[in-house]
């Protein structure tokens, strides 16, 4: 059975920890898909720390864009995170020669990839950030990225069976659909 769970919240709200605990409650050998592009040494050390914390029971996949290349049929999969995944598409769209990244182009591409990936029979646990909760940025690129992120979060939430908002390490259920089997 296919199931999509979205875990959202602010930075350091406990999203990843909660997603990992949930995955381990559903499977003894879950999959972790890291969407981050490693920009510098500090971020590389952060990635290593996360991998060590998860331990050997996890299958780790590093994939910046094309999640659907990976067969996760009948697995429990944590995708961490939509924000970094969107970043990879956002900056690729900026290569089209325009002064600012093309939000519509990036959004269409990431939605298409999301749909391809989640066609598999698996339990998908997507982690994302709510970056639009603050004020409106004075920076045009940041405003465009916040739009992209917000629209992608809405899209995933509309497809999700469950949505959980993390507040100070506490999960708050936002959406839960009960499906008859």
Residues recognised as catalytic:
50
Rounded to an integer, what distance in angstroms lies between the CA atom of residue 141 and that of residue 137? 9
Specify whether the backbone of 168 is left (phi greater than 0), alpha (psi in -120 to 50) or beta.
Answer: left
Going across the sheet that includes 170-176, the strands are: 59-62, 31-34, 76-80, 123-129, 3-9, 162-167, 170-176
The DSSP output letter for 102 is -
Helix H or strand E segment including 127: strand 123-129
Return the bridge partners of 80, or none: 34, 127
> Do 34 and 62 form a contact (C-beta atoms < 8 A)?
yes
State how beta strands 162-167 and 170-176 pair.
antiparallel
């Amino acid at each position: 059975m296919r199931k999509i769970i979205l875990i959202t919240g602010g930075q350091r709200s406990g999203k990843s920890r909660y997603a990992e605990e949930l995955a381990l409650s559903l499977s003894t050998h879950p999959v972790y898909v890291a969407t981050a592009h490693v920009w510098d040494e500090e971020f590389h050390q952060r990635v290593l720390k996360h991998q060590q914390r998860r331990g050997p029971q996890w299958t780790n996949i590093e994939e910046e864009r094309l999640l659907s290349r990976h067969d996760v049929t009948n697995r429990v999969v944590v995708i961490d995170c939509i924000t970094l995944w969107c970043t990879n598409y956002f900056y690729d769209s900026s290569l089209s020669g325009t002064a600012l990244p093309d939000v519509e182009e990036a959004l269409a591409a990431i939605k298409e990839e999301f749909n391809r990936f989640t066609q598999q029979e698996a339990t998908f646990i997507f982690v994302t950030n709510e970056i639009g909760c603050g004020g409106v940025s004075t920076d045009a690129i940041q405003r465009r990225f916040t739009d992209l992120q917000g629209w992608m979060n809405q899209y995933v939430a509309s497809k999700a069976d469950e949505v959980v908002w993390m507040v100070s390490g506490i999960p708050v259920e936002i959406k839960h659909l009960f499906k008859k089997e």
